[in-house]
Chains A and B, each alone.
Chain A
Amino acid sequence: MTNHWVDIRNADVVLVMGGNAAEAHPVGFKWAIEAKKQNKAQLVVVDPRFTRSAAVADFYAPIRTGTDIAFLGGVINYLLSKDQIHHEYVKAYTDFSFLVSPDYDFADGLFSGYNAEKRSYDKSSWSYVRGEDGYVKTDPTLQDPRCVYQLLKQHYSRYTPEMVERICGTPQDAFLKVCAIMASTAGPERSMTILYALGWTQHSQGSQIIRTGAMVQLLLGNIGVAGGGVNALRGHSNIQGLTDLGLMSNLLPGYLTLPGEKETDYAEYIAKRAPKPMRPNQMSYWQNYEKFHVSLMKAWFGEAATKENNWAYDYLPKLDKAHDGLMVFDDMYQGKVNGYFCQGFNPLASFPNKGKLGAALAKLKYLVVMDPLATETSEFWRNFGEHNDVDPAKIGTTVFRLPTTCFAEEDGSLVNSSRWLQWHWQGAEPPGEAKTDAAIMAGLLLRLRAMYKEKGGAFPDAILNLSWPYRDPHEPAPDEVAKEFNGRALVDLYDPKDPTKLLRKAGEQLDGFAQLRDDGSTSCGCWIFSGSWTQAGNNMARRDPSDPWGNGQTNNWAWAWPANRRILYNRASADPSGKPFNAKRKQVWWNGSAWVGSDVPDFKVDSNPADGMGPFIMNPEGVARFFAIDKMAEGPFPEHYEPFETPIGVNPMNGNPQAVSNPAARVFKGDMEVFGTAKDFPYAATTYRLTEHFHYWTKHVRINAVLQPEQFVEIGEELAREKGIASGDKVKVRSNRGYIKAVAVVTKRIKALNVNGQKVHHVGIPIHWGFTGVARIGFLSNTLTPFVGDANSQTPEFKSFLVNIEKL
């Protein structure tokens, strides 16, 4: 979240789109209800289904799954053509005036530089025009046809209300009503928050959907302000922590990135990640990259990381290619993977195309499952009738199950959607032989290290030199690891501005990432967590609910990264002169000599507004980007593409067969062939979660199983009539990859939509059932879903695919 949970109550408009907050986040949804109760907020829901969120909304608009960019593109067109935007904000705080390269072009659904064979772009034309001084050229009058504002207007002028209706199936009057409600927040006195979740991410163009939402918020001046923001509601209590700590194949902790295999030169690796400002007087905060990186390497490798060996740069693996989950499972399917560790993860249920996943696991020599539960993945080799129809005699994979503790059985911190690190304490003893994940990983490390020591190996350095300074090497304790993330001084640290002033003595915990150095004098396991456990103690354990500003910020409750900042980009809540846009909801302001406020300023605290530093300090431009330059795989402006399995078979935005679906999305050999077409699978399907369950865990719990005992699918009354299906009937739902059987819930809450001159029905498919647990045995719903992901993040397209349905 750019903002935080409690802040939702400050909103005047709450847009729930690409998510179903009431269903999936019932506790946090309290704040949407509070916004309605206390702030007279309007709650708007846009979704293919009339959801639990819609049940308490002021307005609901239907949309065909996978067409959110068309809808939001239509909103951008509405706001620009009616000129209902926050003028001062967009002019000063975005790239509106930036001039774009004359080589940039968009035609027939494709941006300039497309290579059809590689399904990717040469992005060199997606760039700015630079002046002789090296800075980006701008046109403050916004008249130049090549400025971002004009290109934006031109690009989205095609997204008319008629086109929105044709693509999304949203009736024009409903669409325009949503636009009008959103536009009501264009002035500084009102704000809108957007709450989204997997309904925006799990598409082949998910990242661009989110970008489009962010662009709408920028036009309305709703980023950086209380009650505003683009707010990702994370689905797991610590999935924010997972990304923060870099548990992605291409990331290091704190959103630092792993080098590619061509990046053999350390200085070049750093330079590429520490861009110089693109405009005068801008901060370009990532120029500090090396301080964060060196401190990380000191935390990992201690004395072994020296200036001479480029801070152990060669110990880092260099990426030969992407190794995201889909790629790993495709490699496994090709027989290229011997062993796989599943830590708190149930991939047989959580990646797409269960048939392919099971076949891939069967090609492993060994599979290690670390989990508190007997997951489907750990039982993949066992025959459960048609729910998992495999022949154990033909599967040679050795499966090791290592029972782990769950969160309630250990101390630690969880990072919630608000970016708060909240410490929690052990509430129960672990059962049986369960061990903490830390103990298991430590055991592996110590044995591997002993083997490397004894027998040598191709490159033992990284394992042998890993710093392992814990009280009990067999089980690093949560407090030790947390302190390591915060970072400490390795020598006496003096203030660079005043060499007589001692900041921290050697060995002391650091106060924050501003103290990190690139000379090896500090260590820090995750720079954005620096400040969470200082010399003063564990800030994550703070539980002070006081709210002196009355804005719900409670700055002394737990600790938020970065720097305990509660609303990101909060400098943008004040006008260019440093005065809050909205006096009623002040975040930060310039007091004549410094930036102060109710929140920790997301800015250089002594930067006089007269110097013109922009509020988006992480961008070298200093402003927010409508034009994404080279940052996105499929183009600098979000463009509507159909899901890979499209019920209409064409992209109404263009006539180009190459640009029906995301032209830059990666599709593996063999997977394109098993995409279904509307001829055989005429219905748009979407998967989702139910409030009664959490993923595939709670089907192991009696009470949750009682509340939602049996697998079902939802269809509208019209489709039910056509198919002769009554509520409660058993049905079979098929995609080109397999089938599931479930009970039919026939509902008024899913209506047929008129799309591109044809009628499109949705089939709603809740996940949660499987072949382990105490709920009724069911089918893993990913039996149906296609093996393709977002072009940028590779998040699977679980939300939009094609099925057929029949009564059993």
Chain B
Amino acid sequence: MALQSLDIKQRSATTTPSTQVRQTTEVAKLIDVSTCIGCKACQSACMEWNDLRPEVGSCSGVHDNPTDLGPEAWTVMRFSEVELDGRLEWLIRKDGCMHCSDPGCLKACPAPGAIIQYSNGIVDFHQENCIGCGYCVTGCPFNIPRLSAKDSKAYKCSLCSDRVAVNQAPACAKVCPTGAIQFGAKEDMKDYAEQRIADLRERGFAKAGLYDPPGVGGTHVMYVLQHADQPGLYHGLAEDPSISPLVSLWKGVAKPLATAVLAAVSLGSLFHYVTKGPNEVAKDIEDEIEREERAAREREEKEGAK
């Protein structure tokens, strides 16, 4: 939703220069999976604060409910039962928008001002500008945005930008009973994560670490993982949600599929090309190509797997 009290860093498909004057702190939500008990208070608070009321669903044979993210379910708990060296672990990950520093959704979006990034790092959808094309869904390396059948607009976690704008923590962080969800300046969150990781290593989780994937420029939702070397254990959390721009540029352009896709997706980037010059555009387009290509590849793999 539109919100005027936060500075906007970038808007989708827009040439207007971003504001430069005010200094804002980069924020982040830290989700410590090792102290999460999967109580879903965060899901409940998200629904309450954001006035979301999904339909009463059904049990599909797991504890996850709603069973997937949706236009009315901006965060869901993902429960994964894994056995490592004979030891059972029930890994419970709060899924939702990662608020990438380099947001694929925003880059892919052709609708002016439908996706914006605030100077504090939050990536927000302004549904009044959304044209329902679904490019954000394709552009997202984490499979987060969902189109609503009710109004054909895309929805996802706003990191409670309305709360953050008035110095309140997101609703999920506010209610988390165990403190597994922390919110604050990104630097402070990293410091806190260090402590948690040290504790986990002492308890035998040698590979404990912070998930702040550099491939998307880092994220404003980070995880402390017991097994940071295997994010895939956590219900398929992306191992490396980005590929080097240089590699992808050439690889992308070399592939006919990518070239074909280029025409389709680059409309929104045209303004960038005009105003900011070829280097910027090349990077933007190349990212989009890469994402399209990877999405297509993943779709193919999925089809193949079936």
Q: Which residues of A are at the interface with B, using a C-beta cutoff of 8 A?
A: 22-23, 26-27, 29-30, 33-34, 36-37, 40, 50, 52-56, 58, 60, 691-692, 702-712, 726-729, 743-749, 774-776
Contact yes or no, B53 A702, CB < 8 A: yes
Contact yes or no, A691 B65, CB < 8 A: no
Cβ of B41 within 8 Å of any chain A Cβ, yes or no, is yes
Can you list 22 A-B pairs with a CB-CB distance of less than 8 A? A23-B37, A33-B178, A36-B199, A40-B199, A52-B37, A52-B39, A55-B90, A56-B37, A58-B203, A691-B38, A692-B65, A703-B53, A706-B54, A706-B56, A707-B43, A709-B57, A709-B59, A712-B61, A728-B59, A744-B61, A774-B56, A775-B56
Contacts of A692 in B (CB 8 A): 39-40, 65
The 9 closest A-B pairs by CB, nearest first: A727-B61, A728-B61, A22-B37, A710-B59, A55-B90, A26-B39, A743-B59, A748-B81, A27-B177
Given A26-B39, A50-B88, A58-B203, is A776 in contact with B58 using a C-beta cutoff of 8 Å?
yes
Interface centre among A26, A703, A727, A748 (most CB of B within 10 A): A703
Contact yes or no, A706 B59, CB < 8 A: no
Cβ of B62 within 8 Å of any chain A Cβ, yes or no, is yes
Complex Cα distance, B296 from A174, in Å, reads 48
Given A30-B177, A55-B92, A748-B88, is A728 in contact with B60 using a C-beta cutoff of 8 Å?
yes
Interface centre among A52, A56, A706 (most CB of B within 10 A): A706
Complex Cα distance, B39 from A729, in Å, reads 24
Known: A707-B65, A748-B81. 18 other contacts (CB 8 A): A26-B178, A33-B35, A33-B178, A52-B90, A52-B92, A54-B90, A55-B37, A60-B88, A706-B53, A706-B57, A708-B65, A709-B58, A709-B65, A712-B59, A712-B61, A745-B63, A748-B88, A776-B56
- Min CB gap B195→A, angstroms: 8
Contacts of B58 in A (CB 8 A): 709-710, 743, 776
Complex Cα distance, B55 from A776, in Å, reads 11
Given A27-B177, A749-B88, A776-B56, is A707 in contact with B61 using a C-beta cutoff of 8 Å?
no
Contact yes or no, A707 B40, CB < 8 A: yes
List CB contacts (< 8 Å) of B153-211 with chain A.
177-180, 196, 199, 202-203
Interface centre among B37, B63, B66, B83 (most CB of A within 10 A): B37
Contact yes or no, A56 B88, CB < 8 A: no
Contacts of B199 in A (CB 8 A): 36-37, 40
Complex Cα distance, B60 from A710, in Å, reads 9
Given A27-B177, A52-B39, A749-B88, is A707 in contact with B44 using a C-beta cutoff of 8 Å?
yes
Complex Cα distance, B90 from A30, in Å, reads 18
Contact yes or no, B41 A26, CB < 8 A: yes
Complex Cα distance, B39 from A26, in Å, reads 7
Contact yes or no, B177 A26, CB < 8 A: yes
Contacts of A40 in B (CB 8 A): 199, 202
Cβ of B34 within 8 Å of any chain A Cβ, yes or no, is yes
Given A691-B37, A709-B65, is A745 in contact with B179 using a C-beta cutoff of 8 Å?
no
A711 nearest in chain B by CB position: B59
- Min CB gap A395→B, angstroms: 30
Contact yes or no, B39 A709, CB < 8 A: no
Kindly state the interface size class of chain B when it binds its partner: 35 or more
- Min CB gap A61→B, angstroms: 12
Cβ of B280 within 8 Å of any chain A Cβ, yes or no, is no
- Min CB gap B182→A, angstroms: 12
Contact yes or no, B61 A726, CB < 8 A: yes
Contacts of A705 in B (CB 8 A): 56
- Min CB gap B184→A, angstroms: 17
Partner of B90, one of A50, A703, A706, A709: A50
Complex Cα distance, B203 from A691, in Å, reads 27
What string of 1s and 0s marks CB contacts (under 8 Å) between B72-103 and chain A? 00000000010100001111100000000000
Given A692-B40, A706-B56, A747-B81, is A56 in contact with B62 using a C-beta cutoff of 8 Å?
no
Cβ of B267 within 8 Å of any chain A Cβ, yes or no, is no
- Min CB gap A5→B, angstroms: 12
Cβ of B48 within 8 Å of any chain A Cβ, yes or no, is yes
- Min CB gap B136→A, angstroms: 25
Contacts of B178 in A (CB 8 A): 22, 26, 29-30, 33, 56
Contacts of B57 in A (CB 8 A): 706, 709-710
- Min CB gap B223→A, angstroms: 15
A701 nearest in chain B by CB position: B44
Contacts of A30 in B (CB 8 A): 177-179
Cβ of B47 within 8 Å of any chain A Cβ, yes or no, is yes
Complex Cα distance, B203 from A36, in Å, reads 10
List CB contacts (< 8 Å) of B13-49 with chain A.
34-41, 43-44, 47-48
Partner of A37, one of B35, B36, B37, B44: B35
- Min CB gap B233→A, angstroms: 13
Contact yes or no, A53 B37, CB < 8 A: yes
Complex Cα distance, B180 from A728, in Å, reads 30
Partner of B38, one of A52, A58, A709: A52
B41 nearest in chain A by CB position: A26
- Min CB gap A609→B, angstroms: 40
A27 nearest in chain B by CB position: B177
B202 nearest in chain A by CB position: A40
Contacts of B61 in A (CB 8 A): 712, 726-729, 743-746
